[in-house]
Copies of this chain bind each other. A is one copy, B any other.
């Protein structure tokens, strides 16, 4: 039984890593399309989203089967529940990439304005957070997960600065209202991606330490080691 559980947990990990790779690719193509102003590349985001949605259903189903058939406890139970939550975050990250594609396509349809400096900075920061949160999960690296959590404020600041500049652009030139609004919405999408990476990192910390650090609480997992 113990051996079967181990194999199933490894299978879960493999599936989650594959889904994470699809999310990273979706974000990569969305960012490239935006920054290189390449309308066509946005289409690829939708292809990755389809894969992410299929991964989502498949992974949830595997988790439920594992819970029902293997009845994991302690660390293994925390791991499976964390995978269920990380799965939800990854799926919504796919949605945010689609939102970037949607807003990006509209942005390119109107009189061109350059993305302000904060947008490429946010792209780099958020892509690093997504990569690090997934690496932390695979490598069971709690320090890396803590680093991701610490990056969240920086992304929020970049978004606020971005908003401020883009409002000024809109106030100065009515023709730029629509594309500037699209960039504002993209900045918001990127911020949400950063939030999801932070949720994943918090999930990693919980899975491997039993500590729940959300909302600034620090609640030790109350489970006995073996029940």
Contact = CB atoms under 8 A, between A and B. Distances in A.
B77 A67 contact: yes
A14 interface: no
Given A57-B217, A65-B222, A177 B188 contact: no
A178 B68 CA distance: 52
A188 B186 CA distance: 13
Contacts of A74: 68
A104 to B, nearest CB: 16
B170 A61 contact: no
A111 interface: no
A215 B56 contact: yes
A177 B171 contact: yes
Interface in A165-216: 167, 170-172, 174, 177-178, 181, 184-185, 188, 212, 214-215
B65 A67 contact: no
Contact of A64 (B61, B69, B81): B81
Contacts of A217: 53, 57
12 contacts: A56-B215, A57-B212, A61-B221, A64-B81, A64-B222, A68-B73, A68-B227, A71-B71, A84-B84, A84-B85, A167-B178, A170-B170
Interface of A: 53-54, 56-57, 60-61, 63-65, 67-69, 71, 73-74, 77-78, 81, 84-85, 88, 167, 170-172, 174, 177-178, 181, 184-185, 188, 212, 214-215, 217, 219, 221-224, 227
